[in-house]
Amino acid sequence: MNDRLRRLWGMIRKESLQILRDPSSISIAFVMPVVLLLLFGYGVSLDAKHIPLGIVIEQPDTASQSLAGAFDRSEFFRPQRFGAIQEAQQALAERRIDGILWLRNDFSSRLLSGNEAPIGVFVNGVDSNQANITKGYIQGTWLAWLQHFAAAQGRDLDLPVAMEQRVWFNPALNSRLFLVPGLIAIIMTMIGSLLTAMVVAREWERGTMEALMVTPLHMGEMLAGKLIPYFALGMGGMLLSVAMALVLFGVPLLSPFWLLMLCSALFMLVSLAIGLLISIVTRNQFLAGQVALVVSFLPSFLLSGFLFDIHSMPEWVQTITYLVPARYFVAILQTLFLAGPVWPVVLANAGAMLLMLVILTALVVKKSYKRLD
Partner 1 sequence: MNFFHILSLARKEFLALMRDKRSRIIIIVPPIIQLFIFGFAATYDLNDVPVAVYNEDSGGASRELLARIEGSPHFSILHQLSSDAEIAPLIDNRKVLLVIRLGPRFSADLQRGDPAPLQLVIDGRNSNTAMTALNYLRGVVLDFNREWQREHGLTGPPVKLEMRAWYNENLQSRWFIVPGIIGSLILVVTLLVTALSVAREREQGTFDQLLVTPLRPVEILIGKAIPGIVIGLLEATLIIVLMVWFFEVPLRGSIPALYVGILLFLVSTVGVGLMISSIAVTQQQAILGAFLFIVPAVILSGFTTPIANMPEVVQWLTYLDPLRYFLVIVRGVTLEGDGFALLFHQFWPMAIIGAVTLAMAGWLFRHRMY
Stretch 200-219 residues interacting with partner 1 (CB under 8 A): 202, 205
Interaction mask 304-333, partner 1, x per CB under 8 A: -x-xxx-xxxx-xx--xx---------x--
Taking the C-alpha atoms of residue 11 and residue 61, their distance in angstroms, rounded to an integer, is 81
Q: Which is nearer to partner 1, 159 or 358 (CB)?
A: 159
If one asks whether residue 117 binds partner 1 (CB under 8 A), the answer comes out as yes
Q: Is 177 in the site for partner 1 (CB under 8 A)?
A: yes
Interface with partner 1 (CB under 8 A), residue total: 117
Q: According to CB under 8 A, which one of 32, 213, 240, 363 is a site residue for partner 1? A: 32
**How far does the chain reach from its first CA to its final CA, in angstroms?**
31
- The residue count of the chain comes to 373
- Contact between 225 and partner 1 by CB under 8 A: the answer reads no
**Residue 62 contacts by C-beta under 8 Å, 6 or more apart in sequence?**
108
Q: How would you list the strands of the sheet with 99-103, edge to edge?
A: 77-82, 51-57, 99-103
Interacting residues of 120 by C-beta distance below 8 A, sequence separation 6+? 85, 100, 101, 102, 104
CB of 127 to partner 1, least distance (A): 5
Nearer to partner 1, 163 or 247 (CB): 163
> Pattern 273-292, binding to partner 1, x per CB under 8 A?
---------x-xxxx-xxx-
Burial 307-342 (b: 16+ CB within 10 A, else e): beebeebeeeeeeebeebbbbbbbbbbbbbbbeeee
Least distance CB 6 / partner 1 (angstroms): 28
For residue 3, the minimal CB distance to partner 1 (Å) is 31
The interface region with partner 1, picked from 174-182, 215-223, 244-252, 356-364 by CB under 8 A, is 174-182
- Of 311 and 371, CB closest to partner 1: 311
Instruction: Collect all residues with Cβ–Cβ distance below 8 Å to 248 and sequence separation of at least 6.
Output: 37, 41
Closest CA to 183 of 126, 256, 248: 248
Residue 4 φ then ψ, to 5°? -60, -45
- Site track 90-109 with partner 1 (rule: CB under 8 A), x = hit: --xxxx--x-----------
How far apart are CB 126 and partner 1 at their closest, in Å? 5
User: Exposed/middle/buried for 42, CB within 10 Å: 0-12, 13-18, 19+?
Assistant: exposed
Q: Establish if 224 lies at the interface with partner 1 (CB under 8 A).
A: no
Q: Name the amino acid, one letter, at 68.
A: A
DSSP for residue 56:
E
Closest CB to partner 1 among residues 3, 164: 164
Q: Is the CB of residue 301 less than 8 Å from the CB of residue 187?
A: no
Least Å from the CB of residue 231 to partner 1: 18
Q: Is residue 293 a contact point for partner 1 (CB under 8 A)?
A: yes
What mask, x for binding partner 1 by CB under 8 A, covers residues 129 to 168? Answer: xxxxx-xx-xx--x---x--xx------xxxxxxxxxxxx
Return the range that interacts with partner 1 (CB under 8 A); candidates 8-16, 188-196, 218-226, 236-244: 188-196
CB of 366 to partner 1, least distance (A): 20
Nearer to partner 1, 8 or 230 (CB): 230
Site for partner 1 in 328-347 (CB under 8 A): 331, 334-335, 338-339, 342, 344-345
- 10 Å Cβ neighbour count for 229? 22
Distance CA(204)–CA(200), nearest Å, equals: 7
Closest CB 252 distance from partner 1, rounded Å: 12
Cβ burial 124-154 (10 Å sphere, 16+ → b, else e): eeeeeebbebbeebbeebbeebeeebeeeee
